[in-house]
Every structure is written in C-alpha cells, then in structure tokens.
Structure 1
Amino acid sequence: MFGLCPKVYVVLHLERLFTALDWKSSGKWTFLSILVGMIAGLGGIAFQVIGQFVLHYSLVMFAGYSPAEAVGEHLIFDHSHTGQFSPWLIVVVMTIGGLLSGWLVYTFAPEAEGHGTDAAIDAYHNKRGRIRGRIPIVKTFASAITIGTGGSGGREGPIAQIGASFGAFLGKLLKLPSRDRRILLAAGMGAGVGAVFRAPLAGALFAAEILYSESDFEAEVIIPAATASIIGYSVYGLWLPAEMHHTPLFGNDLNYAAGSPLELLPYAVLAVVVAVMGIVYIKVFYGIHNLFAKLPVPKTLRPAIGAGLAGIIGVGLFKLWGEERQALAVLSTGYGTLQQALTAATEVGIPLLFTIAVVKILTTSLTISSGGSGGVFGPSMVIGGCTGGAVGLIFQQIWPDLVPHPEAFAIVGMAGFFAGCAHAPFSTIIMVSEMTGGYGLLLPTMWVSTLTFVMGRPWKLYSKQVPSRLESPAHRGDFLVDILEGIYVRDVYHERKSLVLIPEAMTLNEIVHTIATTRQHYFPVVNEAGRIVGIFSNDDVRSYLYDETLWTLANAGDVMNSHVVSVTPDDDLNTALRCFTAIAIDELPVVDAEDDGKLLGTIRHKEVIAAYNRRLMEFKKAAQDEQE
C-alpha cells in the first residue's frame, strides 16, 4: 500500500468510502426527505396565507378585531384600517367559522377533526403509515378557517398532519413498504413543525419523540426528519421578508440567562404549578370532548357550538376586564399577549396572566374538542407562558434579588407546560429555545421540563401515543427479532439422551417398525462413527409404505435428506427461527459448534416461541415494576 502513488492511494480510499456509505440507500432517503421538506414548507406557506386571508376578511373587516401577533410573524395584510370594533360580532364570526370547518371536515375527511397530531401518530402506529390523500387539503382549509375566525387553536397540529399526509402519499405513490411510509410520514410531520415555528432542529426531534409517551425515540426517523426539516425551514424562509430570514418567532430581544443556582428553587415551584395546570388542561380537554361526543346534534354542528361558546367566554372576559384587549388572548392564537409576557410581564400583571392561562384552557378545549380543526401546541405555549410569567412576577415581589427578570419564567413555563402535557421534553426544550432566539435559559428549562415530565407521566395530551417502541404495533416484528437475538439455543434446547437415532444402513422395514414404537417425529441418521449424516421425518417415510417390495431394498440412506440444516448452542433463536421458516420444519438438530457432525440434541419450533413469550413477559413485568 505504501508503494502506491498518492493519486492511486486516494482513489482506492474514495472507492472504499463510497462503498461503505451505501449511496443507493442514503441517496434514496436524502432525495425523498428533500421532497417531503419542500412540500411541508410550501404547505406551511399556503396554510399561513389562507389563514391570514380568512382572518382579514372575517374578524378584521367584519368584527373590527385584529389579534396581536408575535413580533416575528409575517403579516401579508395591513390591519391598520379595520372595520368598527364590535366584540359580540366576534362570537358570530367564530360560530360561522366553526360551522364551515365542521361541514368541511365531516363531509370530506372526518380524520381531520381535532388537533391533527394525534391522527398522524395513530397512522404511524396503527395504519402502516397510510393517510388519505385528501386529508392535507381539508385540514389546511378547515384549520385556517377555525384559527382565522378566532378559534383558540395552534398551527402545529394542522401543519404536522399536512406534512405527514404528503409523506404518506409519497410512500404510497412509490409503493414503498410500510416501514418506509412510516418514516416519511414522521419526517413530514417534523418538517411542517420545523418550518412554521422556524425551529428545524426541534422539528426533527419532535418527529422522533412525539410518537411515544415514555421518553422513547424513533431513531430511524431522525436523519430523514432532520433533512426534511432543514428543507422545509428553508422553503418557508424564502417566503419571509429578508429582514425576517433569521428572526425567531418571538424575536431576538429575549436575552435572558440563568443566574444563581438558587434560582432552581423557584423554578421547581414553577414546575409544580405548570404540571398541575397541564393536568387540568388534559382533564378539561378530554372531558369536553366526551361531552360533545354525547351531544344529540349532528357532528357538523358541534364545532360551531364549541366555537360559539368559546367566543362568548372570550368576549365575556373582555367585558369583565374593563374591555382590556389583552383579555382577548383567550381567543385565536394569543401570541400577542404571550409576546408581552415574554418581554414586559409587569405590564400585563399577575391577575390577568393567570386568568388568561386558566380561561385559555377552556376556550381551547371548546374549540378543538368539539371537533374544530386546530393544534394544541400554540395554546399550550400561551397557557404555559402566562402561568410562568405570573409565577415569575410573584417571586420577583418575594425575592427581587434572585428573580430580576420574571419574563424568564414565562419562557421556561412555555417549555415546561408542553413537555409535561405532550411527554416530549427534549424537542420542547429545543423548540422554545429556537422560538425565543437563545439558549441562555437552557439549564432552568431542562430542570422544569424534566420535573413536569416526571410529574405528568400518568396523563397525556396526545391519546394515540404508545408508551414505547415495545408497545407499538409498528415494531412488533422488530422486537421479535431483538428479543430472539438476546436468547441462545443453549438456553432453550435440552440434550435428548432418549433421542432415537437411525443407523445409515437400517432397512426401511426396520425403520417402519422403529418409528411405530416412538412418538418422535424427526429422526437423525448417523453413520458407523455416530456422526450425523442426514435426517428424515415420518412424512418422508409415508410415501414408501404402499410398496412393500421396497421395505427390504431401501435403507435410511435412501429416505433421509442429506442436506442437514442445523444450529449450534452458540446460535441465537433468531437464527433458529430463520432456519425453521426457510425449510418449513418443526425441529432442528443441534450440533457441536466445533464439530458439526456431533449431534447434541434437537430444538423445537414451539420451544423457540415459548422462550420468546417468557422473555416478553419478563420485559413487561420489569416495565410495570419500574412504573410502580
């Protein structure tokens, strides 16, 4: 090698590199992930444009109300000239929006109801990565109408389902296997979230983490989701003005940083508060869902009823609070008031922040649980952020030297609340950091998110999550292999000293009389030295039984199969199972690892399955003990 010229040496190493990288496989996933990312980015743009169009020509022009937005939001309409502000017309607009959304969803795609992310999770685990092609179209318009007319919902659910739907459609179009369809579905989900929230890293982690409730990861999803998320973020960024290309959703001015380690004490109190708020959110959300499911009215009318009630509550709070516009944050996205909680929480005040957090739970539940189309991540940010801001203001009054910036509690509260509700701490930590433009609060955010995740484990916002990959129907075959590869033939088979061996020279007549006296089904054939040379079964002998002239002429060498498929004690049970399925038999010879002619015993197919079941029960019992 050292005698080669440098050019040849480099070429040889490049060839080895290209071979090792398996460009056929990695190139396929790169190409498909780019396609998914492009469509997710374009879908995010379409969703935003349609939503703002609905907002402008409904709430703004008809009711005279323009909801405040985050500083990094790109608005395509000038809302400086609105119609005359009429609070009760907001209720009318919301009710009409709920009616239109309900008609769209229940007429064309009932799967598009609710917050969307659950439907994508369900398709991943239980539907082999299949989502109907009409879903993204219906979901886009229904969610844009719901949110644009003032419904309390977020954008992550719709865009996650839009991206996931295209990933599933692409997999179906290319006739990919179910595993590949699931990966593309998850990649589309992550790309949509990464694009709309301008958080590509969080989008990739979100796709891998949101599928499970017990802090498990879908590792095979991360690289395709990261690629798709980068492309989706880039495509979506091209739609934004140049000055917003690198602007986080909530701006670059949130330069808070962790201070004294003693701050972790009030942050621990914050974790308890947002964990309790998260439990209330989940209970109210699904409680209202169950109530609407029993409501004796057509499904198409339920979103209108829910939106109308949410509007009445929102406008009622506005009137109760002296017509303070910030109180209307319980409707629409609520990002404007959240932005103020992140930058100037004192101007909002403790009572209003807590009130918005509590009432937002109710209006979101009425909007989405009634069948309206929208996400739950956005409202979770508002609920967690307002709760955190209020707790921060309280601690600033009690301990001003330790808590100089209560707004930092709002940021940490955003992450902690959703991490506890959605059981997705890692992606939430990164997403909130990317949305707020910095990692200065990474330590308290990790601390609060971890605590809320632990405290909130018995409750989950996404009902279709499964605890871990072990419980996912999508991985039943994978875990069969994983478990079997952890058990060896030596752990299962028994040396059969009573095993009937057939000498190679034994006549067929003697064989027939021998097998008639035993319940053994497979018979190893050995030579004069006692080494295994073949094997046959009762079925192999049966074809000779009708011609007695052969009984004295044929011997074991004529009946046996000389191609012996065997295993050794050092082989795992997955190897044994492949042998069983390859030659369609129920029993295999076990031979010495150093001498394949030395027969040690046999192993049966039912013994392999019994060992698998025993080990699976051990895993489940260990998991239950750990939870207790």
Structure 2
Amino acid sequence: TGHRAIPRVPMSIDAGLQVLLVGSGASLGREGAPRQLAAALGDFGTTRLALTARDREILLACAAGAGLGGVYSVPLGGALFAARILLGTWHPRAVGTALITSSLAVAVASPVTHLEHALTWPDAKLSYLFAFLALAIAPLAVAVGLAFNRVMAIARPTVQFKSWVLIPAIAAAGLLTGICSIWWPELPGNGRSILTVSLNSGLTLGAAAVILLLKPLLTALFLRAGAVGGMLTPALATGAAAGSVTTLVLNHFAGTSIHVSAVSLMCAAGVLAITQRAPLFAALFVWELARPPYWLLAVFAIAAYTAHGLQLMRERRAADPVVAAP
C-alpha cells in the first residue's frame, strides 16, 4: 500500500550533525541520531516489500528502538521504547518485533560496544528498605521532571531557525557551556559524565546543586539557539543530580549514610518516567544502563510508577471543573 515517504537523506544528515554537535560538548542527548538513521535505513530496506501501512509503522518504530538499544547495549530498553513510546501498544506482534530487532542490534553493535554497560555500578551493600525510599523520592522526581519539561517547552522555538544566525547562536551556547565546564567539567555532553560521577559518589553538595540548575538551563539554551538533539539523557542526568543533592543534604545535616548511587538512579528513573510518560521503560532503561543488583529494578519501578501516578493524579485534578461553592 502507499505510504508517506520518509526524507532519508535529510534525516541521515541531521543524525550525523547531532552526533557531531553532542560530541563537541553540546548539552543534548545523542539518542535521537541512531533512531533517525535506523528509521531512514529501515524505510529504504522496506520500500519494495509488499507491506501494509501498519507493518511499515511497526518496522520503522522497531528500527528506531533498535538504534537506541544498540548504542547503549540495552535490548529491553530499546524494545520498550519502540513498543510503548513510539507505537503506544502492547500488541504481541509489535512487542515481539521490537524485542527481536533490538536484540539483533545489540548483537551487531557488540564488536564496537563490547556489550559494556554505559554506567559502572559500585560494589556496595544495600538494604531492601530502599523500596520505601523510592516512594519518598517520587514527589521530588515529579517536581524535577515537570520543571524540566516546562523549561524545554519554553526554550524550544516555535519555528526552527534556518538562517545564518543558527551557527553563531549554537557557537555562543557552546562557548557558555565551555566556560561553565572550567569549574564543572561534567556539564558538557549528553549527561553521561553526570551519571557517572553520581554513581561513583564523586559530587560534592555544592557541585551537585549547581549541576542540577545548570544542566537543564544549558540544554534549554542549545534548543533556543536552534540545535536539535535528544532529551532522554539530559533528563536522566538532571534527575541523578537531584537525587545526589537530596542524599548529600540528608547525609550531611541528618547524619545518615544513605547510598548516593542508588538514590541518584531512583530519582533519574522517576524523572524519566515523567518526561517520557513511560514508567516501565524508565525503570528498565535505567537498570540496564548500570546493571545493579536485580532487586533494584523493582525499586526503580516503584519510583517510576509512583512518580507517574502522581503525575496522572495532578493532571486529572487540573482537568476536573472547579465546583463553585453554594
């Protein structure tokens, strides 16, 4: 059947520019580039096949999810991204196709990625009481996630820049990021450095607080300048910084010894559940990035689902008409 053509060449060029921009230090995610390239290649590969419109939609979404899974070595996360976020379905055909394509992508990329985890989990003893802490951290994750979404929505230009102003604007955003990185070297890039130091408990309270403020602002600045990139890892990094700040404050002023790494990832999962509106994907993606003990997947899920539930409650309350008092 007929289908709307995908602009393969512009999408591929745009993906390459995104990788170049993030590699040069732009405070944006790079996860959009492999998704776009995979979708463009998938469209090219399926053009001559006798597929229905729904078949093509599933295959292209699965190709995009496979691109994400292959880059970060997260086969389940890539499959869930395709099925739940791009397709919005639990249909066995879509889920099965997503699992197969994402797993194949991870296997094909293994000579380059060596199946290494994006984050290194520190060997530390944890208590199952962290499940209760996940419930407590959820409101913070909601606040941070909603604030992140709000800032990005304000920063994103209504009409994408196409004039010569685009280049100096992005250069100015990069210059400001470079200046900030003199004092906080974790700021440039997609946010992986922030996640790494959060897991290694390498942030001081002051540094974590500054990063929590500056990371979303610098990301918004690049968006305002006209740059294009992903929001997934910047949101994760912002959530991890919020978790680090909370834990360091408690440990310093209350005399507790809460594990910074676990709370950082808890909050990161909660924030990602808000920004992507997909709690299961958020919990599983965060867990696959670091591969901590298996039971922490349940803890991340508690944080993500609680944050998502609070978000839904807030939206329903806002949607309800105000009943006037008699």
Band of TM-score, shorter chain? 0.7 to 0.9
Q: 2:188 aligns with which of 323, 331, 342?
A: 331
Q: What is the alpha-carbon distance in structure 2 between the residues aligned to residue 432 and residue 392 of structure 1?
A: 18
Please say if 1:381 is aligned against 2:236.
Answer: yes
Structure-to-structure mapping, 1:437-448, within 5 angstroms: 437-438=291-292, 439-448=294-303
Tell whether the 8 Å contact from 1:254 to 1:342 is kept in structure 2 after alignment. yes
- Aligned equivalents of 2:305, 2:48: Cα separation in 1: 41
Partner residue in 2 for 1:221: 94
CA distance in 2, matches of 1:453, 1:305: 39
Query: What is the identity, as a one-letter code, of the residue corresponding to 2:212?
Result: A
SS of residue paired to 1:141: helix
Map of 1:355 onto structure 2: 210
* 1:453 counterpart = 2:308: yes
Are the equivalent residues in 1 in contact too, given 2:279–2:305 (CA < 8 A)?
yes
CA positional deviation for 1:264: 4.4
> What is the CA distance between 1:422 and its match in structure 2?
0.6
1:254 to 97, 110, 122: 122
Hey, what's the Cα distance between the residues in 1 that align with 2:280 and 2:4? 24
Change (3 A) 1:305 1:268: farther
Cα distance in 2 between the residues matched to 1:170 and 1:265: 48
What are the within-5 Å matches in structure 2 for residues 544-583 of structure 1? none
Aligned CA distance change for structure 1 residues 269 and 394 (closer, same or farther; 3 Å): farther
From 169, 173, 192, the counterpart of 2:67: 192
2:147 maps to 1:293: no
- What is the distance in 2 between the residues matched to 1:300 and 1:168? 29
Residues in 2 aligned to 1:154 and 1:348: alpha-carbon distance in whole angstroms: 21
The corresponding residue for 1:498 is: none
Instruction: Tell me which residue corresponds to 2:44.
Output: 169
Give the Cα separation in 1 of the matches to 2:169 and 2:140.
Answer: 27
SS in structure 2 at match of 1:247? coil
- Superposed CA offset, 1:508-562 (max 9, x none): xxxxxxxxxxxxxxxxxxxxxxxxxxxxxxxxxxxxxxxxxxxxxxxxxxxxxxx
The reply to whether residue 208 of structure 1 matches residue 83 of structure 2 is yes
State the shift of 1:249 in Å.
1.0
8 Å CA contact retained: 2:119, 2:195: no
2:248 is the counterpart of 1:393:
yes
Describe the SS at the equivalent of 2:301: helix
Structure 2 contact 156–224 (Cα < 8 Å) conserved: yes
Superposition deviation, residue 236 in structure 1: 0.7
Q: 2:288 aligns with which of 414, 427, 434?
A: 434
The alpha carbon displacement at 1:182 in A equals 0.4
> Take 2:205 and 2:30, find their aligned partners in 1: how far apart are those partners?
27
> Is contact 1:209–1:218 with CA below 8 Å preserved after alignment?
no
* Equivalent runs, 1:55-454 vs 2, <5 Å: 130-211=5-86, 217=90, 219-240=92-113, 245-251=114-120, 253-255=121-123, 259-261=127-129, 263-290=130-157, 293=159, 299-301=162-164, 303-318=166-181, 323-324=182-183, 327-344=184-201, 347-400=202-255, 403-438=257-292, 439-454=294-309
Q: Distance in 2 between matches of 1:129 and 1:446?
A: 37
Q: 1:266, CA displacement in angstroms?
A: 4.0
Q: Distance in 2 between matches of 1:375 and 1:281?
A: 13
Asked whether the equivalents of residues 29 and 191 of structure 2 are also in contact (C-alpha less than 8 Å), the reply is no
How much identity, in percent, do the aligned residues show?
23
CA 1:264 to 1:313, structure 2 compared with 1: closer, same or farther past 3 Å? farther
Instruction: State the partner residue of 2:323.
Output: none
Could you say what secondary structure the match of 2:185 adopts? helix
Contact 1:385-1:413 at 8 Å conserved across structures:
yes
Asked if the contact 1:303/1:367 (under 8 Å) is kept, the reply is: no
**What is the CA–CA distance in structure 1 between the aligned matches of 2:36 and 2:125, rounded to whole Å?**
35
**Is the 2:170–2:226 contact (alpha carbons within 8 Å) kept by the matching residues of 1?**
no
Rounded Cα–Cα distance in structure 1 between residues aligned with 2:4 and 2:286: 28
Tell me the equivalent position of 2:324: none
TM-score relative to the length of structure 2? 0.86
Question: How many Å separate the matches in 1 of 2:95 and 2:165?
Answer: 38
Q: Distance in 2 between matches of 1:369 and 1:173?
A: 40
Unaligned stretches of 5+ in structure 1?
1-126, 461-623
- Give the secondary structure class of the aligned counterpart of 1:293: coil
Instruction: Point out the more displaced range, 351-360 or 217-226.
Output: 217-226
Give the direction of change, closer, same or farther, for the CA distance of 1:459–1:181 in structure 2 (3 Å limit).
farther
CA distance in 2, matches of 1:278, 1:424: 13
Cα deviation, 1:227-283, whole Å, max 9, x if unaligned, reads 11111101111124xxxx3421112x434565243x445433422222212112111
Whole-Å separation in 2 of the counterparts to 1:162 and 1:386: 30
SS in 1 for 2:156: helix
User: In the aligned structure 2, how far is the partner of 1:425 from the partner of 1:142?
Assistant: 30
User: 1:459 offset after TM fit, Å?
Assistant: 10
| 1:351–1:128 CA distance, 2 compared to 1 (3 A) | farther
For the Cα contact (< 8 Å) 1:257–1:441, is it kept in 2? Answer: no
1:129 deviates by 6.7
Instruction: Judging by fraction of residues, say which structure has more helix.
Output: 2
Q: Deviations over 1:293-325 (max 9, x none)?
A: 39xxx524454354234334324434xxxx43x
Q: Deviations over 1:34-65 (max 9, x none)?
A: xxxxxxxxxxxxxxxxxxxxxxxxxxxxxxxx
- Paired positions, count: 318
Question: Contact (CA 8 Å) 2:170, 2:222: kept in 1 or not?
Answer: yes
Cα distance in structure 2, aligned partners of 1:143 and 1:459: 35
Instruction: Provide the secondary structure at the position in 2 that maps to 1:456.
Output: helix
Distance 1:364 1:456 in 2: 23
Q: Is the 8 A contact 2:73 2:106 kept in 1?
A: yes
Partner AA of 1:169 in structure 2: F
User: Aligned runs of 1:473-488 on 2, under 5 Å?
Assistant: none
Cα pair 1:354 1:386 within 8 Å, conserved:
yes
Structure 1 residue 170: deviation in Å?
A: 2.5
Q: Which has the higher contact order (CA 8 A, sep 6+)?
A: 2
Gap regions ≥5 residues in structure 2: 321-326
Q: What amino acid does structure 2 have at the position aligned with 1:254?
A: P
C-alpha deviation, 1:432, in angstroms: 1.1
- Following TM superposition, by how much is the alpha carbon of 1:198 offset from its aligned partner in structure 2, in angstroms? 0.5
Instruction: Work out the CA distance in 2 between the residues paired with 1:135 and 1:397.
Output: 51
What SS does the aligned partner of 1:192 have? helix
CA deviations over 1:556-598 (Å, ceiling 9, x no partner): xxxxxxxxxxxxxxxxxxxxxxxxxxxxxxxxxxxxxxxxxxx
